[in-house]
Structure 1
Amino acid sequence: MNETVKLISKENKVYIIEEKAANYSGLLRVLFKNINYVENTDREVKLPFSNKLLDIAVSYMEYRKKYSTYDGPIPDFEIREGDEIDLLEVSNFLQL
C-alpha cells in the first residue's frame, strides 16, 4: 500500500496524495522525511495557497509521478493563461 500525505489549502480544503508524488516538491520531501518536524508525525501540512493554486500544484506533482518512468513522448502540462505568475510563487515555495 502506498503511503499518503495531506496537503491543506488556506481555505482548509484537504488534498490526500501519495507521498511519492509529494516528494517531487523539495519542501514537502524534507518536511515528511525529517523526524524532527511535526509534519512527519502528522503526515499533513497546511500551505498558504488557495484551493485553485494548490489544486494545480497537486496535479503537477501527480503528473511528474505518472510520467517519471514513461518511455514515450510526455504531454505538456497545461497551465491556464493568467495563472503563470501565481504558479511561479507556488513552485518556488514548494521547490517544484
Structure 2
Amino acid sequence: MDLDAMDPAELEQDLDLMNAATKIQASFRGHMARKQAEKQSKNDSEITKEMEKLQSKSPVPNEEELDVDLSDPSLNHAATKIQASFRGHMTRKTLVKD
C-alpha cells in the first residue's frame, strides 16, 4: 500500500491504518516512558546512597563546644575587622585581574 499516493480523506477513513498508527504510537510512548522511569530510578538510587553516606557520618564525639558570648562588643569589632580585611583582599584581587 502506497500511503503517499492515497488521498488524505481516504487515509482518515481507513480504520485499520488508524488503529495500527495508534498502536505504534502507544508502544513507542510506553518505551520512552519506561526508559525515562529507569533513568529517574537510577538517579534516585544514587541520591539515596549519597544521603545515607552523609547521615551515617557521625559528628566528632570529642568536639569541644565553644562558650562564646555573642553580645560581646569586642566580638562584633573582631568580626568587622575580618570582614574589612577580606573585602580589601577581594578588591585587590579583582583589580589585579583587570
TM over 0.5, shorter chain = no
More contact order relative to length (CA 8 Å, sep ≥ 6): 1
Larger radius of gyration: 2
Higher helix share: 2
Structure (1 or 2) with the greater strand fraction = 1
